[in-house]
Structure formats: C-alpha cells, structure tokens
Amino acid sequence: MQSIANEIYSQVTQKNPGEAEFHQAVHEVLHSLEHVVDAYPEFRYHKILDRMVEPERIITFRVPWVDDAEELQINRGFRVEMSSALGPYKGGLRFHASVNQSIMKFLAFEQVFKNSLTGLSLGGGKGGSDFNPKGKSDLEVMRFCQSFMTELYRHIGENTDIPAGDIGVGGREIGFMFGQYKRIKNQFTGVLTGKGLEWGGSNIRPEATGYGLIYFSQNMLETRSDTLEGKNCLISGSGNVALYTAEKLLELGAKVLTFSDSNGFIHDPYGIDREKLDFIMQLKNIRRGRIAEYIEKYKHAHYYPVEFSRDYNPLWAIPADCAFPCATQNEINEKDAQNLLANGVLLVAEGANMPTTEEGVNLFIDKGILYGPAKATNAGGVAVSGLEMSQNSARLLWTRSKVDSELKNIMKRIHGLCLESSERYSTKGNYVDGANIAGFVRVAEAMIDQGYV
C-alpha cells in the first residue's frame, strides 16, 4: 500500500482497537484507492479518506424487553450513521447474536459505497442489535421491536435516516417497528423500507437483492459470451437473498444444489427445483423452521451439520460452476476459495456483505475468475429500497414489471461503472477495484462540494 493509504489504515487500527471486521472492510477499500489518490490530489488535500473512515454519528442504546417467562432481558441497540454526502443515511438493521460495534461499522462503511453505486440519492448507515430472534415467539419479537424503536425513532425520519431489513429483520420485524414509529410520531411516512405492499411497500423489494445478484452475474458472464443456463450453482444461506437468488437461477435454467442456515447445510445432487424451493420458502418464511427439515421430505438429499472445528466449509467443496455466498461475513476463507477453484468454479458473486476473506478475494482475482464483490452485486436490495422511497414520496405503487426493469437497469449500470473504473485505474474486470473506486469518487466529489463537514 502507498503511504497515504498505509497512514490512514494504521490510524484506523489504532483508533478502533479490536474492530477486526471494520479494519478488514477499510483495508480492502484503501487498497483499491491506491489507484486513484494519485490521480486526484484534491482528495488528499480535502482529507476525504480521513473523513470517510470516521462515522458522522454512532448511536448506542439500551433495549429492555420482557420475555414470555416474564423475565426482563437487556440487549444493545446500534445505529451507525456513516455518511450523508449523497442523501439521507440508508441501510438495514441486523438482529443477530454476533452484532457488535465492529460489525455495525463495517456494514455501514460498505453501505456508503454500495449506495453510491446505485446512482440514487442515498447516504450510508447500518444498525441493529445483538438480539437473537431465533426461537423467540411472535410476541417476544414484537415487544423487542417496540422497545428498540422507542429509542431509535428520535434519530430517524424519511428525510434523515431510513432503516430497512438485514439478517434477522424481515417483513414481520419491519411491520412491528413501523407500527411503533407511527404510534409515537403520529405520522405515516416512508421511514422504513421493506414495508408490506398494502402499507407503503414496493413490489419486488423482497426479491430485489437475489434478483439483482443474478442480473449482475448475467452481465459478468456476458463479457465472456456465457450464460447461466445449465450451470451448477452453490448457494449458502436460506433467507430472502438466498431464496430469490435461487428463484431467478431456476428461471434462467441453472441448477441449484445447496442452501444453509447457522446449524448446517443441505445438498440435493438432483437439484432443488421449483417445487422443492416452494417447500423451503414455506419452511423458512412461514413455519420459521430449520433447513435440516428438508431431508425429512426429500430423503435422497444430504444434510451436513456445521462443525466449528473444521478449517473449511464442505459446502464450498462441492463441485460447481458458480457460487453465491448469501449467508454472512467471512463465510468463504482461503481454503474454501482454494476448494472452489480446484473444482473449476468460474463465477463467484456475493449476496451477503463481505462474505469472502481478503485472502479468498485475492485468490479469486489472481486466478482471473469472474468475481463480483458484494458492494456491487448485492446493491439491488438497497436500490429497490431507494425506489420504495420514491414511491412513498409520490404516494404511488409501481407495477412489478416497472420495478423489475428499473432494477435490471440499475444493476447493468453498476456493472458498467465497475468495468469502466477498473479499466481506467486498475485492471479491466477487477470488479473489486472497480466497485470501490466508482463508489468512492461519487461520494468524494459530493464531500468536496459540501465543504468541511
């Protein structure tokens, strides 16, 4: 790394001790930006990088709630408002036991670049709680969401900060939080995205991240005159991103082999077809069951429980053409990347945020496979959130086909931007550098225009 990037990275590690995920996200971006800092001396003069690694505001708060056994529980809530250079803070809320300040900051940092790439007027933020929704009753989840919003409401607003879903936050949680916000403020506004269709939501929002991921993958394959038809695909995760990635892959004639959750993964060597996918959608979204139940119905399939002692995940050792990590951060390590490459993977596109470690990313880039980093490939979700905000402002509901065609255009535009920026400053087809650079330049220019804030 050149001195300015090095300098900033060492400041970040000193000022934010113990925040490994945040360090990782910053390191990757600074590495890409080596290519641009020389071309734009004004960025250095205006201390753009120094400012971008410092969140505009971090809110941390206590979330007390009473469980079904009438015992008081205390969780920690967060909202990291990272950058408002391009618009109001925008980004999801994650409810997961692993949530801490480092994870919130890495997600908020990545969100700034991702949102910039969409071309919409969206700043970047992220929030959530270490609340674990797994195994909780609907009423427990409602009480938690109401308590969480009873503090968060004073920091957000449809022109200030617009949260949405992420891991552990879907339609049910958004509904409970929206209800509480409306009750406290006595206002029906588009303060959250991912709302129900009948009360301000957008068509295609649940599908958007998964569909967008596949539209981007099609664009990548097109550069090599290839398509998804007949490709064997690995998917991790079984939330909306994973499920709608699979739906789009099936539509395009690809074969889906796997899904996972935090307990383990299933492998169906015959492929998970539409009927089987419907079963999983019911299982995960309605019955809120575990993916292991798949093999009770489809007995020829295999289930592999998670083994924490392993140094690799056997899911990524199944031979396949394409891999779509849609679960969580750092789920593909160096060994997993080696396994995928040894089996001839030709495309890896990220549905989750930062699912590949830096060592894994470097391997994919060195081998020259089509590697799509999350900031670009999973931007479809927040992009349709941006479209939900537009619809809310106009008090309109666009048709599925209108939202879908806007989403396709946005993903195509992001793909083009990544290629253009990588060609100008790095190596054409290095989507990591392309995404980081294109995302950064737009934010940096806005920051210069807006003075020292």
Active site residue ranges:
126
Torsion angles phi and psi, residue 96, rounded to 5: -160, 145
Q: Binders of ligand GLU among 76-95, rule CB under 6 A?
A: 90-92
Q: Which is nearer to ligand GLU, 166 or 331 (CB)?
A: 166
Q: Which is nearer to ligand GLU, 36 or 177 (CB)?
A: 177
Residue 284 beta carbon to ligand GLU: minimum distance, rounded to whole angstroms? 17
Residue 163 beta carbon to ligand GLU: minimum distance, rounded to whole angstroms? 7
Q: Binders of ligand GLU among 156-215, rule CB under 6 A?
A: 164, 166, 193
Q: How far is CA 335 from CA 47, 311, 338, in A?
A: 38, 7, 5
Find the Cα–Cα–Cα–Cα dihedral 118, 120, 121, 123, rounded to 10°.
Answer: -20
Q: Which is nearer to ligand GLU, 210 or 381 (CB)?
A: 381
Give yes or no for a contact between 218 and 306, defined as CB atoms under 8 angstroms apart. no
Q: Which of 30, 22, 89, 28 is nearest to 59 (CA)?
A: 89
Give yes or no for a contact between 143 and 100, defined as CB atoms under 8 angstroms apart. no
Q: Which is nearer to ligand GLU, 164 or 417 (CB)?
A: 164
Task: Name beta bridge partners: 260.
Answer: 265
Site for ligand GLU contains 435 (CB under 6 A) = no
Residue 385 beta carbon to ligand GLU: minimum distance, rounded to whole angstroms? 3
Q: How many residues bind ligand GLU (CB under 6 A)?
A: 10
Q: Which two tokens stand for residue 405?
A: 């065609």
Task: Name beta bridge partners: 233.
Answer: 256, 322
Q: Binders of ligand GLU among 340-379, rule CB under 6 A?
A: 353
Unique residue bearing structure tokens 């403020």: 185
Residue 142 beta carbon to ligand GLU: minimum distance, rounded to whole angstroms? 21
Give yes or no for a contact between 432 and 117, defined as CB atoms under 8 angstroms apart. no
Identify the residue among 203, 385, 391, 422 touching ligand GLU (CB under 6 A). 385
Q: Which is nearer to ligand GLU, 217 or 353 (CB)?
A: 353
Q: Which residue is nearest to ligand GLU (CB)?
A: 92
Identify the residue among 175, 190, 381, 434 touching ligand GLU (CB under 6 A). 381
Q: At residue 41, what is the residue type?
A: P
Q: How far is residue 111's CA from residue 91's CA, in Å, rounded to a whole number?
A: 7
Q: Binders of ligand GLU among 255-294, rule CB under 6 A?
A: none
Q: Tell me which residues touch ligand GLU (CB under 6 A).
A: 90-92, 164, 166, 193, 353, 381-382, 385
